[in-house]
Chains A and B, each alone.
Chain A
Amino acid sequence: NAGVMQNPRHLVRRRGQEARLRCSPMKGHSHVYWYRQLPEEGLKFMVYLQKENIIDESGMPKERFSAEFPKEGPSILRIQQVVRGDSAAYFCASSPTGGNTEAFFGQGTRLTVV
């Protein structure tokens, strides 16, 4: 059973471009979480999704950020018109049931905005 897969592992974007980060949860997991980790900081919750539904987006910036988890395919975190402050590691985690069960993390996507 492959773990949570994120791609790309590293992404470089110029200011103003769009960044698309992909997350394929573990097999059998239908709950996906996105977290952002700024350098030398903890992980900050961004959004929680189930298939085709956004359940909690309380940690998402109000503008430029969006997330989806379609019926088929990976979850996508999209950042439009990136700025230098968006440079961070973005981690996806999945769990089989949501709630207080173990969340399995992917390797992360390290976004660098130049």
Chain B
Amino acid sequence: DAKTTQPPSMDCAEGRAANLPCNHSTISGNEYVYWYRQIHSQGPQYIIHGLKNNETNEMASLIITEDRKSSTLILPHATLRDTAVYYCIVRVEGGADGLTFGKGTHLIIQP
């Protein structure tokens, strides 16, 4: 069963902010929200993760709603290199099972 729902594709103009939504309405209290991206034929790249507070790092910002049922990944100034498939994953802390990847969102940055 998919734990997250993401739009299959999105477009964004170069230089603008890219806002990628993710629904995780069945998230548990101890589950984190993780974002990875995969540029064509490369290994997935970790972007950011959070539990309930908004998070920011050098790559992106993660906004999690108060009820934690959805989140948005924000790439503040998208470049052509940000064209990739973006995966939103919910993951409990602890345990040793692997990441469960859905189909993700194919973000296309337009020049």
| A and B are partners in one complex rather than unrelated chains | no
